[in-house]
Amino acid sequence: MMWPKGLDLRSLGVFLETTRAGNMAEAARRLGMTQPAVSQYISKTEEAVGAPLLDRRLRPTRLTPAGEVLRDRAEALLSSAEQALAAVRDVGEQPLPELRIALPNSLAATLTPHLYDRVSKELDPGNFSLRVGQALDHVRALMEREVDFVIASDPAENLGGIDMLPLFREDLLLMLPSDYDGPADSLSAVMDYLPLIRFAGHNVVGQLAERHLRRIRLSPPRIAEFDTAQGVAGVVAAGHGFALATPMCVLEGQAAGHPVTAVPMPGPGVSRTLNLLARRRELGPRAAIFAALCRGIIAEHVEPAIRRSMPWLGDGFQILEYETTETKGGVQ
């Protein structure tokens, strides 16, 4: 049988995620894609199989009889493909030809040197590849098999086919110039003393900070925003303002040579959890091994630096015990 042009595993994966999500907008959010891109994948799949798969006249959109058949068959096909890929990559427990990792900017300078050293010794990949950037781009890269592991802040709770292994949790705090001598007992008082320097809206820390500000009903003026911890720390260190950040962001700024300090968040607290994301069943035990390796690096090199810089932090920084969780909203 000639395989239909335009029908591939990626197209089937997008179709299946759409059926799980219930609509293209939600599927696009889970996959880290745009809605038009999801719609294009669905249309190409329908053209390839020669039948409509979604009844777009209904709200919410429902599967056609042909769509129901493809859904059932595609689940088994993708599962078999994942198992085949896992078997090929694990043959004889040979070292991986390449290990591709993506992590957020807030961990880059602090984690990368130790990560490269430990991965080279313990996993022995033929090539070590690391990219730094934003969670949304990294999740898309993971789904499209451009990377093998992603370290991210809770971006994949509703992604099917992804394992999420928690690494650590950290509280939001105030990043201040090292010579700051103003008030720190309330957020509004700090804002009266210094303007807020924001993380850009597409940055996960920036999104966390904005949600917290809305929750406590504060609306500081927008004067400057940057998409990296180093950028924010540089402006804060120069005395131009303060930032809502995390311990890892503070360490990144200090590692870049910016003299910043940190104090606890006044009033209600908020935190983020950093997780290791991996495609389910593709790398066998290596995901758990890599997660344990990351926790070991954090315990040996990162947490001591955090405690020295922020001795008051207490449980505002916690390494989390190993636990593999299937993300919510995935394959039932």
Looking at residue 1, its pLDDT comes to 47
Domains contained in the chain, number: 3
Q: What is the Cα 99 distance to its own chain's centre?
A: 17
Looking at residue 95, its pLDDT comes to 64
Element (H, E) at 177: strand 173-177
CA distance 164 to 144: 17
Question: Block means of pLDDT (10 residues each) for the chain, length 332 residues?
Answer: 68 85 84 85 87 81 85 76 59 67 88 88 84 84 88 68 90 96 93 95 88 94 93 96 96 93 93 90 81 90 92 93 44 26
**332 within some domain:** no
Looking at residue 222, its pLDDT comes to 94
Q: Is 178 in the same domain as 265?
A: yes
CATH code of the domain in which 121 resides: 3.40.190.10
| Token digits of residue 326 | 């299937």
Q: Is 293 in the same domain as 232?
A: no
Q: Is 49 in the same domain as 68?
A: yes
Q: Is 76 in the same domain as 196?
A: no
Q: Is 158 in the same domain as 286?
A: yes
DSSP-derived secondary structure for 252-303: HHHHTT--EEEEEPSSS--EEEEEEEEETTTSTTHHHHHHHHHHHHIIIIIH
Looking at residue 61, its pLDDT comes to 75
Looking at residue 164, its pLDDT comes to 87
The pTM (predicted TM-score) of the whole model is 0.69
| Cα-trace Rg, the chain | 22
Looking at residue 83, its pLDDT comes to 61
CATH code of the domain in which 65 resides: 1.10.10.10
| Token digits of residue 151 | 């370290």
Looking at residue 189, its pLDDT comes to 94
CA distance 123 to 116: 10
**167 within some domain:** no
Q: What is the Cα 128 distance to its own chain's centre?
A: 20
Q: Is 214 in the same domain as 82?
A: no
Which of the 8 DSSP states describes residue 93?
G
Looking at residue 328, its pLDDT comes to 37
Residue that terminates a domain, selected from 89, 113, 136: 89
Angle between helix 9-21 and helix 65-89 axes, rounded to 10 deg? 120
Q: Is 50 in the same domain as 194?
A: no
How many CA atoms lie less than 13 Å away from 26 in the CB half-sphere?
A: 16
| Those residues with Cβ within 8 angstroms of residue 286's Cβ, 6 or more apart along the chain or in another chain | 96, 123
Structural domain range at position 254: 173-269
Residue that terminates a domain, selected from 89, 110, 137: 89
How many CA atoms lie less than 13 Å away from 49 in the CB half-sphere?
A: 24
Looking at residue 331, its pLDDT comes to 28
**32 within some domain:** yes
Short-list 143, 155, 151, CA closest to 167: 151
Phi, psi (deg, nearest 5) at residue 309:
-80, -35
Helix, strand or coil, per DSSP, at residue 45: helix
**1 within some domain:** no
